[in-house]
Structure 1
Amino acid sequence: MTSEAPAARPEVEIVVLVSGSGTLLQALIDAAREPAYGVRIAAVGADRPCRGLERAEQAGITTFVCRPADYATRAEWDAALAERIRGAGPRFVVSAGFMRLLGDRVLSENLVINTHPALLPSFPGTHGVRDALVHGVKVTGTTCHVVDAGLDSGPIIEQRVVPVQDGDTEESLHERIKVQERAMLVDVVRRLAQEGLVVEGRRVRFGTS
């Protein structure tokens, strides 16, 4: 009598949003090539043509562009983006260097996570690395958080610390942060796909209850 191998766990499908070079996306593409990771990137969307879309296309992933300039209002753009995401049917959405604030329609229909190159709530916004360096902090790092309607203000999922070294420039510090940011995002996406996420106010934990 032979025992049957356990059925493989179905892959969790996600959508990734990008605006630039797509290095965070590439980390997820590389991780998703391993069957044990359990995640499939169903689509990659962008607000403009960018290198991130090229990375997705090279990996055989469906892509779409939803440009704000093509819509009369931000609400119309948000509704169109929500429709494109809905069409891919993701379990959740990853903002991976997506440089737009998401609107009510997208956020009400999806769990969206984002990474930021600073230890939130300190130094939100587009210049988190520079602001931390100017402030003279001894440690900074990277944060993965749930996206809400504010600017880098959603509940924190995970953080990783990066020491600031004497002589650091914005570029050298950012490069070390990016190493931790990519590894953190890959880990968070894996755990979120496997375990789910519970958000209770400002508190976040992996699990379903």
Structure 2
Amino acid sequence: MANKKRLGILISGRGSNMVNIARKVESGIIDAKVSIVISDVAEAPGLDLAKGLGLKTLHLSPKGMPKLDYDNLLAGTLLEYEVNIVILAGFMRLVKEPLLAAFRNDILNIHPSLLPSFPGLHAHRDVLAHGAKVSGCTVHLVNNKTDDGPIIVQRTCPVWDTDTEETLAARVLEQEHIAFPEAINIHLAGKWMINGRRFVRG
């Protein structure tokens, strides 16, 4: 276990992807260790779920803190827990330079659409409003723009005419639970490079 890469998972809500990743780690499907789960929301259900899985958890409140100071706090805390890769699993804050600088090309985010289409907070609503026939999810490296970094993995699912935001979200979430562990394993393997906007596997 001592030689395994350490994951730091950041959440803001229910923690569905966090739980899925933690279980994949426990089963050996992801060859890493979850070092810490951090939430910016004290009442995030994911914190209790993480504790139930035996994971270390922290609530770091951003209230009253300038954005850069909070990101410095996050970076320092993650480094204190010897984190190698940061996983944004429903973390609803934009990541800024202090954290990006500490973990350059080592921060992974998942977004519930096929980027670059439908970025932002209302992906499912926008997919339905545009009449898209296919949706899915994207795991990408994080940069200083919203939902913009090099794409590691994408998975697709159909959009039905009868879909609501809730039914589409549930179908996309099934793909998220496949895509995120796959992307983490690709990153862990280290056989990749960044070529412009592209994440290229070696």
Whether the TM-score (by the shorter chain) exceeds 0.5 is: yes
SS in 1 for 2:126: helix
Contact 2:111 2:147 in 1 (8 A): yes
Residue matched to 2:96: 103
Show structure 2 runs of 5+ residues with no match: none
Cα distance 1:89–1:124, how it changes in 2: closer, same or farther (>3 A)?
same
SS in 2 for 1:81: helix
Matched, 1:83 2:58: no
Q: What displacement does 1:194 show?
A: 2.6
The correspondence for 2:137, drawn from 129, 135, 142, is: 142
The correspondence for 2:34, drawn from 30, 37, 41, is: 41
SS in 2 for 1:67: coil
TM value normalised by structure 2: 0.93
Residue matched to 2:51: 57
TM value normalised by structure 1: 0.90
Alpha-carbon distance between aligned partners in 1 of 2:200 and 2:53, rounded to the nearest angstrom: 32
Q: What displacement does 1:112 show?
A: 0.5
Q: Give the count of matched residue pairs.
A: 199
The one-letter code of the counterpart of 1:156 is I
Matched, 1:183 2:159: no
Residue matched to 2:115: 120
Matched, 1:173 2:160: no
Alpha-carbon deviations, 1:160-187, whole Å to 9, x = none?
1111112111110110000001110011
Q: What displacement does 1:35 show?
A: 3.2
Matched, 1:161 2:156: yes
Q: Percent identity?
A: 34
Alpha-carbon distance between aligned partners in 2 of 1:197 and 1:97, rounded to the nearest angstrom: 25
Contact 1:9 1:38 in 2 (8 A): no
Alpha-carbon distance between aligned partners in 2 of 1:192 and 1:126, rounded to the nearest angstrom: 25
Structure 1 segments (4+ residues) deviating >3 Å: none
